[in-house]
Structure 1
């Protein structure tokens, strides 16, 4: 087994499939994968002081502060399962989050790129679990109200409309692209064509970051 430590950050516009690919790569490397949403939910469930603070913020319909987001990430990296690497999905999202993230450095930054029309098409037919946030596709036979493997229920997000999707894509272009450009200057960005099957994109990512093809 390779002794290389993989600290892989995934970025991509809404609907790019980065969450799916992050999980697949994590399984292949035998390292944990997580995103800020998951870390917030875990903190809330723990009923810690920070978790209670996050719960109050979420119930007010607000976003957690950059300081809290960074602290959640820092605490997660203290767990022993990250000793040989980890996969981070979608963080930092903007300049202020990047400024607060000072305690580690990614080894690879994977950017999954898809055309805007592909993003709109995918998001308009996706369902999300109300418990674990796993994403499902209607075209695969899933319907609103179906049960997720975690026993949560599938629903269609109210902001998965063409107008709302376009707004989120604009935010990605304005806020997140500059973060990616900063990592690109360090020579650690790997841009992946995100159009194709899940398996095809998985192979593209593995090849880009130097993993051997599966037999």
Structure 2
């Protein structure tokens, strides 16, 4: 099962990825985690990434695709994987498609969690209020203003990826505002058909 989960911050991708990971016994792949692991393992692509990061630059799409290509060859990914937070741009989506094709692999599904932005903002406010009432600490980026910034970045950079996959007939949408269990059932329905 090879999947991409798309959706803005707070849509529930992490929650659903954890459930899919358990159900299908496949890893959830985060490009940040993969990048750090490749650097730590000193793989050829990891050494390239380290050189770029050490100079203060952003890691190129080619390097990220190389890291994904290496990662999906590992034993725990032989039954598939979940890409969460990648691809972030249409160029990355195109490069991913080309790389998977070179390995005779296809994606089984690209699922977008559709959400209402105002409801997401309300959700963040509620989470902050509940955390504070319980005496907890709120993360610096877990406030409505920071969330709006992240949401805008998503709309500009990543939302076009949905259109890319829709144009290929590969995008399936799920109501991310539904209760967690209903979202899980909707995703299961897509994957079973």
TM-score by length of 1: 0.73
Whole-Å Cα distance in 1 between the matches of residues 20 and 46 of structure 2? 28
CA contact (8 A) 1:114 1:193 kept: yes
Note the residue ranges of structure 2 that are not aligned, 5 or more in a row: 101-105
Helix, strand or coil at the partner of 2:173:
strand
CA contact (8 A) 2:46 2:67 kept: no
CA contact (8 A) 2:29 2:82 kept: yes
CA contact (8 A) 2:3 2:109 kept: yes
Correspondence 1:161 to 2:157: no
Q: Which residue of 2 aligns with 1:92?
A: 87
Whole-Å Cα distance in 2 between the matches of residues 59 and 198 of structure 1? 40
Note the residue ranges of structure 1 that are not aligned, 5 or more in a row: 1-5, 128-136, 145-154
- State the shift of 1:169 in Å: 1.6
Which of residues 151, 161, 175 is equivalent to 2:157?
A: 175
Q: Which residue of 2 aligns with 1:30?
A: 25
Whole-Å Cα distance in 1 between the matches of residues 67 and 49 of structure 2? 10
C-alpha RMSD over aligned residues: 2.9
Q: How does 1:39-54 map to 2 (within 5 A)?
A: 39-48=34-43, 50-51=45-46, 53-54=48-49
CA contact (8 A) 1:35 1:91 kept: yes
Whole-Å Cα distance in 1 between the matches of residues 171 and 90 of structure 2? 17
Q: Which has the higher helix share?
A: 2
Correspondence 1:103 to 2:103: no
Moved more, 181-190 or 57-66: 57-66
Q: Which residue of 1 aligns with 2:7?
A: 12
Q: How does 1:143-162 map to 2 (within 5 A)?
A: 143-144=136-137, 156=139, 158-162=140-144
Instruction: Map Cα deviations across residues 4-23 of structure 1 (whole Å, 9 max, x no partner).
Output: xx211000001011022112
Whole-Å Cα distance in 2 between the matches of residues 59 and 200 of structure 1? 44
**Cα distance change on mapping 1:60 and 1:116 into 2, 3 Å:** farther
**Cα distance change on mapping 1:56 and 1:126 into 2, 3 Å:** farther
Q: Which has the higher strand share?
A: 1
Whole-Å Cα distance in 2 between the matches of residues 201 and 26 of structure 1? 15
Correspondence 1:204 to 2:186: yes
Count of aligned positions = 186
Q: Which residue of 1 aligns with 2:113?
A: 112
Q: Which residue of 1 aligns with 2:103?
A: none
CA contact (8 A) 1:7 1:108 kept: yes
Correspondence 1:74 to 2:74: no
